[in-house]
Amino acid sequence: MITTTDLTKVYRSRDREVTALDGVSLHVRPGEVFGVIGRSGAGKSTLIRCLNLLERPTSGTVTVDGVDLTALGGRGHRARRPLRQARARIGMIFQHFNLLSSRTVKGNVELPLEILGLGRRERSRKALELLDLVGLADKAKAYPAQLSGGQKQRVGIARALAGDPKVLLSDEATSALDPETTRSVLGLLRDLNRQLGLTILLITHEMDVVKTVCDSAALMAEGRIVESGAVSELLATPGSRLAHELFPVGGPQGAAGRTTVDLTFHGATAGDPVVSRLARTHGIDVSIVGAALDTVGGHQVGRMRIELPGTFEDNVLAIGFLREQGLTVELPAQAGLPGQGAPPPDGAPPPPPASGRTAAAGRAGEAGEAGEGAETVGAEGAEGGAA
């Protein structure tokens, strides 16, 4: 639904250049909620503004719903019309809502309908319908100043849906809201995604947002996509930075003479008594040093950190057994053994730009290399995850 190829954006001013996007290739499938996460300054807002051509990319292409937006436009009123039409099919919501304080709630939703050229009665009908959709039918006559933050964002969402868009872009739409309101706005976005088949790309710096609503996610840093993929695939990818940030496993690691193993249970494996089976079939005393259960992307996922007596070599069979059970098995860096994949520290040389959804799987081995040169274990882990 949204595809960018090798998108770059360089801001030039008199005395300096800022490369805000550095070769971003992104693919968002129809009907999915796709989260882009990254720290402040990573280039997230620039990316989203380039997606609807509010900002013209320096190079690369943007295709939305089969239309190459970068090929449209140019100078002059006439030339811009196809671009304006294509843009009407892309809704956008903002952190600070951008409502007009002098207009009522209904008046705000009617604004894009005026621009689209609808008549007065049609506008009124459509605006009320949209307000009903976002649960604000009773606030039509109120002014923005009379609304809570969550209600203002609902008006923003109703306004964004005025052109019957297929795609909704959201730039930190919940960052100004408290946690409970955030949950309700995210719930609304999820409902709209399901009811209308709306494809949503949302930008956030909060992992919780990704965890709550996203089917897929990409991690951005310094204008590049560092990692991307379906959330479920990422969780099954040893060494995935996103997976670790989405769902960290706690507990100490690396006691001498013991082997620390991180297990991720997902899908069919979630309810399996794997650890007791391991203890039974291999006669090993397993210590559980950390564990957590959580819902990620609507699915139950479990993480567990266990310790096995002996070195890695002593435990090769047991680790093989765990992999055969369909778990994602990772070996964090530990005493006397090169770890496979602590996430590379910030400031490590950036990995090559990721393209497409296989990126995460490809990166798993690299993360190990970038970390502490654990090719063997890292590569093995990556295979285990892919199997």
Ligand X SMILES: Nc1ncnc2c1ncn2[C@@H]1O[C@H](COP(=O)(O)OP(=O)(O)O)[C@@H](O)[C@H]1O
Residues that bind Mg ion (CB under 5 A): 45
Containing 321, the helix (H) or strand (E) segment is helix 316-324
Toward Mg ion, which CB reaches closer, 90 or 308? 90
Binding segment toward ligand X, per CB under 6 A, in 41-49, 231-239, 280-288, 348-356: 41-49
Decide: residue 27, CB within 10 A, 0-12 exposed, 13-18 middle, 19+ buried.
Answer: middle
* Whether 272 contacts 207, CB under 8 Å: no
Residue 38 contact partner, candidates ligand X, Mg ion, none, CB within 5 to 8 A by sort of partner:
ligand X
Total of chain residues touching ligand X, rule CB under 6 A:
11
The β-bridge partners of 228 are 218
- Rounded to an integer, what distance in angstroms lies between the CA atom of residue 359 and that of residue 366? 11
Show the tokens assigned to 113: 């309908």
Residue 46 contact partner, candidates Mg ion, ligand X, none, CB within 5 to 8 A by sort of partner:
ligand X
Residues 110-139 that bind ligand X (CB under 6 A): none
Residue 375 is a binding residue for ligand X (CB under 6 A): no
Residue 146 is a binding residue for ligand X (CB under 6 A): no
Per-position DSSP letters for 366-383, written without gaps between them: HHHHHHH--HHHHHHHHH
Toward ligand X, which CB reaches closer, 47 or 284? 47
Toward ligand X, which CB reaches closer, 163 or 353? 353
Residue 57 contact partner, candidates Mg ion, ligand X, none, CB within 5 to 8 A by sort of partner:
none
Residue 38 is a binding residue for ligand X (CB under 6 A): yes
Residue 11 is a binding residue for ligand X (CB under 6 A): yes
Show the tokens assigned to 212: 């709550």
Residue 350 contact partner, candidates ligand X, Mg ion, none, CB within 5 to 8 A by sort of partner:
none
Angle between helices 105-115 and 149-160 (to 10 degrees): 20
Handedness of CA 124, 128, 129, 131 (dihedral sign): positive
CB of 179 to Mg ion, least distance (A): 20
Residue 234 contact partner, candidates ligand X, Mg ion, none, CB within 5 to 8 A by sort of partner:
none
Residue 101 is a binding residue for ligand X (CB under 6 A): no
Among 14, 40, 285, 346, binds ligand X (CB under 6 A): 40
The β-bridge partners of 156 are none
Q: How many other β-carbons are positioned within 10 Å of the β-carbon of residue 3?
A: 17
Residues 42-81 that bind ligand X (CB under 6 A): 42-46
Residue 358 contact partner, candidates Mg ion, ligand X, none, CB within 5 to 8 A by sort of partner:
none
Per-position DSSP letters for 226-257, written without gaps between them: EEEEEHHHHHTSTT-HHHHHHS---S----TT
In which residue are the tokens 């140019």 written?
74
| Contacts to ligand X by CB under 6 A | 11, 18, 20, 38, 40-46
